[in-house]
Amino acid sequence: MLSVTKRSSWTDTLLSIFLFVLIIILYQYFAHQRHLLNPHDKLVPTFAQMLDAFTRSTFEPDRNGVYRLLDDTLASGQRVLISMVFVFGGVLMGAYMGLFPVMDKLFYKFFLFFDKIPALAILPILFIFFGLGEVSKVALIVIGVVPTIILDTYLRAKAFPQEQVIKAITMSASKSQIIFKIILPKIFPMALDSIRLNFKAIVLFLISGEALAATAGLGYRIFVVRRYMAMDIIISYVIWIGLLSYLIDAGICLWIKKQYRWYNK
């Protein structure tokens, strides 16, 4: 089994898709059975229904003349993008905390505390403070994810080899240069990695926020159509969210690989 000979690639491919295919077949079988008993069943839609729901929400305007999927994706995307500004701000914050003892003392415990708070539990408070608009949705993502990013970057900055900082100082680097030219460029791909790994949490907080109060968004739609049990739409949205998350993950990976060739070497 440990032989170096290359396995024929088609069996490899087959094995890797095996579980997917199996689960799809089992699901389809189950859905088919339910539909034989109740042709109007909505809870376990067949793939044909899901595809239909997906094309409907993608290519046909709904009753209000809106291309739902596009509309929802844009609304959610905007929220994620705005929170990304704070996430990258968090990276900077973490670097500062790692380098300056004053910042460390002032903020470390604070963020450690916030990191431990389950953000979803304070969601009602957020809605009271920030209203029902976009601010509270972004705030939920920020409170949920940014402390983790800050602490992660902080630890990386703390673990930064002191020798290199000294070395930079002997080459007349100022404090801000040490942050921006020495530490940040080196820990940035690590931060990207940690953002990538935290993306699931970002999506989770996004959907939770949208479930509570919204007029558009991927999470909003999932919760609204639940009212009439449109599982076909829900599942197609879930797959779409999964696909988007996967693409973003792959995108960040590619970015790291292309832009930071030295990373992880």
Partner 1 sequence: MNNFKRISQFFILLLLTGFIAACSSPSGQESNASSSTSGKSKKFKVAWSIYSGWQPWDYANQSKILEKWAKKYGIEIELIKMDYIPSVEAYVAGQVDACVMTNMEALDMPAASGVTSTALILGDYSNGNDALLTRDNLQVKDLVGKEVNLVELSVSHYILSRALEKNGLKESDVTIVNTSDSDIAPAFISNNSQKAVITWNPLIMEIKKQPDVKQVFASSSIPGEIMDLMIVKTNVLKDNPELGNALTGAWYEVMAIMKKEDKATEEALAIMAESAGCSLQEYKDQLKTTAMFYSPKSALNYTTSKAVIQSMDYVRKFCFSHGLLGENATSFDQIGIQYPNGEIQGDKNNIQLYFDSSFMEKAANAQL
Partner 2 sequence: MTGKYILEVEGASQQYFDQSEKSFQVLNNINLQIREGEFVTIVGPTGCGKSTLLRMILGSERPSAGNVLMDQKPILKPDRNRGVVFQKYSLFDNLTVRQNVRIGLELENFSIFGNLLNTVFPGWKYEEYSTLVDEYLERVGLLQHGDKYPYQLSGGMRQRVAIAQAMIMKPKVLLMDEPFGALDAGTKDQMHAFMLEQWQQTGQTILFVTHDLEEAVYLGTRVIVLSQYYQGANGAKIVKDFNTPWPHPRDQSVKEEELFQDMIKTIRNQGLNSNYLLNQEEFDLSHADAIQLAS
Among 166, 229, 253, 254, binds partner 2 (CB under 8 A): 166
User: Residue 156's closest CA among 182, 178, 187, 189?
Assistant: 187
Among 215, 243, 250, 254, binds partner 1 (CB under 8 A): 215
Structure tokens at 138: 């972004």
Indicate the residue among 167 and 200 with the shorter CB distance to partner 2. 167
Which of partner 1, partner 2, none interacts with 62 (beta carbon under 5 to 8 A by kind)? partner 1
Structure tokens at 142: 């920020």
Smallest separation, CB 142 to partner 1 (Å): 19
Q: Which amino acid is at 46?
A: T
Q: Is residue 233 involved in binding partner 1 (CB under 8 A)? A: yes
**Binders of partner 2 among 142-161, rule CB under 8 A?**
161
Helix axes 199-212, 123-130, angle to 10 degrees: 60
**Binders of partner 1 among 92-151, rule CB under 8 A?**
123-124, 127-128, 131-132
Separation in Å, CA 158 to CA 94, 97, 104, 168, 187: 9, 8, 10, 16, 11
Determine the size of the site formed for partner 1 (CB under 8 A). 51
Which of partner 2, partner 1, none interacts with 29 (beta carbon under 5 to 8 A by kind)? partner 1
Helix axes 199-212, 184-197, angle to 10 degrees: 50
Report the distance separating Cα 240 and Cα 217, nearest Å. 13
**Binders of partner 2 among 175-204, rule CB under 8 A?**
177, 181-182, 185-186
Stretch that binds partner 2, among 13-21, 119-127, 223-231, 257-265 (CB under 8 A): 257-265
Structure tokens at 249: 């993950």
Indicate the residue among 9 and 170 with the shorter CB distance to partner 1. 9
Stretch that binds partner 1, among 27-35, 144-152, 153-161, 197-205 (CB under 8 A): 27-35
150 by Cβ neighbours in 10 Å (0-12 / 13-18 / 19+) ranks as buried
| Helix, coil or strand: residue 46 | coil
Q: Is residue 61 involved in binding partner 1 (CB under 8 A)? A: no
Q: Is residue 13 involved in binding partner 1 (CB under 8 A)? A: no
Among 47, 180, 223, 240, binds partner 1 (CB under 8 A): 223
Alpha helices of 38-67 — where are they, by DSSP H? 47-59
Report the distance separating Cα 246 and Cα 200, nearest Å. 10
Q: Kindly list the residues in this chain that would bind partner 1 in the complex (CB under 8 A).
A: 1, 3, 5, 7, 11, 14-15, 18, 21-22, 25-26, 28-29, 32-34, 36-43, 52-53, 56, 62-64, 123-124, 127-128, 131-132, 211-215, 220, 223-224, 226-230, 233
